[in-house]
Amino acid sequence: MFLKFLRLEIKSFFRGTSVGINMVMKILRLMGILYFMACLVGGAFGAFFYVQEELHQDPLKIVSGFLIIGWVVDLIVKYIWQEMPTQNIKPFLTLNIPKKTLVNYMLIKTFLSAFSWLNSLFFITFSIIAVFNGYGLLQVFAWFIGISSLFYLNNFINIFFNDNEKVAIVIAIIFGAVGILGYYQIVPVLSYSESVFYSFYEKPYFAVIPLILFFGLWWICFRHVHQEFYLDQGLEAKKTIGKTENIAFLNKYGALGTFINNDIKMLRRNKVTKGILLGSFLFVFYGLLMFANSVYKTPAMMMFMGLFVTGGFQFLFGQRVPAFDSSYYPLMMTLNVPYKEYLKAKWWLMNIITCLSMVVALFYAYFGWDIYVTFLAAGLYNMGVNSQFTLWSGAFNKTQIDLNSKEKRMGQRNSFNLKAMLLLIPKMLLPMVVFAISKQFFGITGGVISIAILGLIGFLFREKIFDIIVRHYKREKYSTLDAFKNKD
């Protein structure tokens, strides 16, 4: 039965309306998976021999000490991006197929996701290296089984927390508190981690405990999903009581104010847009990566970081216009909606939040004013130039977005477009090159002024640019409508 389900999904992939786009995205996704596979395998070699030859310590102990961090990161990644494949299962609920078979199939399919098995490459490689370097075969095998069982437990934990944001927030706060206590060495978290994970090697019979937890949680998760597995219950879209909200002072700006008002309501009410706001806030701290790798301290990469620090919301929100309105976009097109005002509302909202990001990023001045003024220049470029190019790229985004569910799919079909990719040149490469060259010849002041001038030029000519963008939106109007109407 499981093989039949897989064959049906393969047929669905090749018979869909967007086979070409799907194939391109699958190829790009495969390239990304191969890259991470190589990184994890290479990381296993690096971790073992670096600890053994450079630090002269037991690699198994050191890795065991840091596995608690890997376990938490694995759970966070799965919570953000991995979801149960319920949409493909719904049609089978009306057929004469045992419900327990469908539930087990869904649970098994979560293990086929790259987010589930990629980390196993590190553990498999590391275990093989350990065996060939004198570690006991049985003990290493027990260590591998125990650790793998605990990491695969995250699949079931994710299912329990997937639709319960309050519990997830509480767990995140606990993880954060423990992380802070460990960082300031108030609680020896890494020592506890080493004791727990290394015990699977020292006492192989301890590996039975995570195995029991794995199968026990599988059964509990199976029972939980089985009880909710109905079209009108567990798989039904969650409904909430609608609330009327209005930001009164925006009404005096006419259609522009109305559109901004609607977007603010959307950002406050829906799971996907709340995730966008959270992601935008986290992007502000992207610049801290420059302290982890010296390559980020080059002028071009400093500008690259500045574009993301100040433009996180812009990149996450702007390039999905009008996808956020996909559910009622066909209705909008039947009304006398002023396209230019509609896009300007998005533009103003993005620039307002970009300004806030520039203010929040002021803490980078602690590390040097040259860093902050670089990020400030990047923010001005985002406001004057990138905000408009980001809206322009949105015209080619035909991806439907369900605002009532978490968006956990990376590389969705219809999200790839060559024209949108080409727009990355003026958005990212141009400011990086201009800033690097200007700083080389005229110093930090010349670099900042050159980027600020580009942003000012874009701001002054915004009306002309908006006219071009509107023409492209109108040109893509009918293909966008067709994509949003096509639920398959």
pLDDT digits (tens, 9 = 90+) for 139-155: 999 999 999 999 999 88
> What is residue 86's predicted lDDT score, i.e. its pLDDT?
58
Query: How many Å apart are CA 88 and CA 166, to the nearest integer?
Result: 27
Six-digit token pair at 391? 């809206």
The full set of domain ranges for the chain reads 2-228, 248-485
Nearest in space to 38 (alpha carbons), one of 122, 109, 96, 106: 122
Q: Is the pLDDT of residue 13 over 80?
A: no
| Percent of the chain topping pLDDT 90 | 17
Confidence of residue 199 (pLDDT cuts 50, 70, 90): very high
Q: For residues 445-464, give the mean pLDDT.
A: 88
User: Considering only 7-16, 46-55, 295-304, which range has the smallest mean pLDDT?
Assistant: 7-16
Query: How many Å apart are CA 416 and CA 404, to the nearest integer?
Result: 23
Q: For residues 242-265, give the mean pLDDT.
A: 67
Query: How many Å apart are CA 413 and CA 483, to the nearest integer?
Result: 10
Name the most confidently modeled range: 112-121, 174-183, 352-361. Answer: 352-361
Helices 369-381 and 430-460, packing angle to 10 deg = 60
pLDDT tens digits, residue range 387-438?
A: 888 888 777 777 777 665 544 443 344 444 445 555 666 777 888 888 888 8
> What is residue 60's predicted lDDT score, i.e. its pLDDT?
92
What is the number of alpha carbons within 13 Å of residue 173 lying toward its C-beta? 6
Q: For residues 303-311, give the mean pLDDT.
A: 86
User: Considering only 10-19, 98-107, 211-220, which range has the smallest mean pLDDT?
Assistant: 10-19
Average pLDDT, rounded, for the chain: 79
Nearest in space to 318 (alpha carbons), one of 394, 375, 248, 249: 394
Query: How many Å apart are CA 9 and CA 15, to the nearest integer?
Result: 10
366-383 in b/e form (b: 16+ CB < 10 A) is: eeeebbbbbbbbbbbbbb
Q: Is the pLDDT of residue 18 over 60?
A: no
Q: Is the pLDDT of residue 233 over 80?
A: no
Q: Is the pLDDT of residue 279 over 60?
A: yes
Q: Please tell me the pTM assigned to this model.
A: 0.59
> What is residue 244's predicted lDDT score, i.e. its pLDDT?
47
> What is residue 241's predicted lDDT score, i.e. its pLDDT?
46
Query: How many Å apart are CA 51 and CA 59, to the nearest integer?
Result: 5
User: Considering only 48-52, 168-172, 207-211, which range has the smallest mean pLDDT?
Assistant: 168-172
